[in-house]
Structure 1
Amino acid sequence: MRKIVFMLAVSLDGFFETLDGSIDWHRVDDELHRHMNADLAAMGAFLEGRRTYELMEEFWPNADQDSSIPASMAEFAEIWRGTPKVVYSRTLESVGPNATIVRDVVVDEVLALKASASGDLVVGGPDLASTFRRLGLVDEYRVYVQPVLLGRGRPWLQPEDDKTDLDLVETRVFGNGVVLLRYRVGG
């Protein structure tokens, strides 16, 4: 059965971006990029909120036209263009090729997409992921813990009233100090 996966890089103190929205502290070297490319190339669709979609769409559609970028980044540009995207937004009027706007997260619609997808679905963006989590739609968390303490920033998950039990299914340490913690929703 297909899974809905939330993937995100976070600081050791639990933030996904600084207070001013910066993610320049992420340590994404060639090893980590190749690993993420392998995972993301197998996905059936990217499920994204407006902000995440706009940030990604700003750079990745043409990134591989820059001959100075590493091969792993050029490879991701191809993955980005080729993978269907579902953009959850109440304000966007249009999206690029291979993307569809959906106004609200409707559980039955997400489950139908999950059942018909060619691969797992990846949720991008902590706000959308918090909605998916609240609705019981996240099957797996892949947290890439960055070796940095930001002190302040935007937390990667919003507080919830309900506890979610998780089963650790994988850990991996990358040469740059990033640690992958992969959890399946258990219970």
Structure 2
Amino acid sequence: MGKVIYWMNTSIDGYIGDSDGGMDFADPDDDFHQAANDHVRRITAFLFGRRLYEAMEEPWTQELGKEGAPAVEREFAQLYKETPRYVFSDTLQTVPEGVTIVRRKDAVSVATRLKQEIDGTLQLGGPELAVSLVDLIDEFWVYTFPVIIGGGRPYLPVAKDLRLRLAEHRSFASGTMFRRYVRS
């Protein structure tokens, strides 16, 4: 049976995107990027909400993996492209090879099936999708960047109490912090 992790980068005040939807505050240094690459090596499939998918897909499959990009970015781009991606969306009609569209009404059943069938780690991304699949999430991964943005899209806008236990933490020279929580 697979494990579902919810992984998003946040500001200190808990937002994954600013009020305009931008994620520019999460400017990774090489140490962070290498840690992210190490984590992605352990990912069996990505489960993305549409907005996060759109933010990730084009840059990592086209721009950032090109010759001339830093080696750590080229490595991430290669790992990203090699990993199956599922995008949960009611509006997308076509996606490139390596990506599967899942309609939102089927989100819980498809994610449950993937968790049962895939022996590995399913990385969930996107707060609205995470809310709809919160009962399937085994671990919560948070990379917190040393910036306060004052509002925007929260990490997990869930209206219930989730008790978690800190299982791992790490700090980077840039001030970015990684925390991995598991259910209590």
Deviations 1:38-61 (A, max 9, x none): 111221100011111112112111
TM-score, with structure 1 as normaliser: 0.92
Count of paired positions: 183
SS of the counterpart of 1:57? Answer: helix
- Structure 1 residue aligned with 2:38: 38
Cα displacement (A) at 1:73: 0.5
- Structure 2 residue aligned with 1:27: 27
Distance 1:108 1:26 in 2: 32
Map 1:160-179 onto structure 2 (within 5 A): 160=159, 162-179=160-177
Determine if contact 1:43/1:118 at 8 Å carries over to the other structure: no
- Structure 2 residue aligned with 1:112: 113
- Structure 2 residue aligned with 1:144: 143
SS of the counterpart of 1:10? Answer: strand
Distance 1:87 1:57 in 2: 10
TM-score, with structure 2 as normaliser: 0.93
Cα displacement (A) at 1:118: 4.4
Map 1:74-93 onto structure 2 (within 5 A): 74-93=74-93
Distance 1:24 1:65 in 2: 19
- Structure 2 residue aligned with 1:127: 128
Bigger mean CA offset, 102-111 vs 37-46: 102-111
Distance 1:2 1:128, change over 3 A: same
Distance 1:12 1:140 in 2: 20
Determine if contact 1:27/1:178 at 8 Å carries over to the other structure: no
Gaps of 5+ in 2: none
Deviations 1:39-94 (A, max 9, x none): 11221100011111112112111235532211110011111111001110111101
Gaps of 5+ in 1: none
Distance 1:106 1:62 in 2: 28
Distance 2:180 2:139 in 1: 7
Deviations 1:101-148 (A, max 9, x none): 110244343222112224200011111112111xx0111001011111
Determine if contact 1:63/1:73 at 8 Å carries over to the other structure: no
Distance 1:64 1:55 in 2: 12
